[in-house]
Amino acid sequence: MNMAGGPDDCDGFLSAAAGAASVGGASVQAHEFPGTTAIIDVVDGNAMFGDGGTFEVTMCGLWVALEPLPAGEHTVAFEGESGGFSVSASYILTVAS
């Protein structure tokens, strides 16, 4: 659960943010990642920025850091919301031995 915007956007976004994550069905603690400046390169036609180019943005959100997973297949799922924005995704990761 994250966003990229201006420096003042993160306070409102994070104050309303809620989310959950799991690995193999076991809950994983999400941590608040405060606003940090980043430089991003965007291709033409990007849904958020439109025209391509290089932009300075402030990024923030709820993030999860995992210890290295053992070899095998793992389902990683997350969902979150803030204001009118919501996200839900599930990934199947295969870790090589």
Cα distance between residue 88 and residue 74, in whole Å: 17
Burial 7-33 (b: 16+ CB within 10 A, else e): eebbeebbeebebbbebeeeeeebeeb
Look up the pTM and report it.
0.74
**How many Cα atoms sit within 13 Å of 59 on the Cβ side?**
9
Per residue of the chain (97 residues), give pLDDT as tens: 888 888 888 888 999 999 999 999 999 999 999 889 999 898 888 877 778 889 898 999 999 988 999 999 999 999 999 988 899 999 999 999 8
Q: Please spell the DSSP secondary structure of 5-43, one letter per residue.
A: E-TTHHHHHHHH-EEEEEETTEEE--EEEEEEEEEEEE-
Instruction: Supply the pLDDT for residue 97.
Output: 87
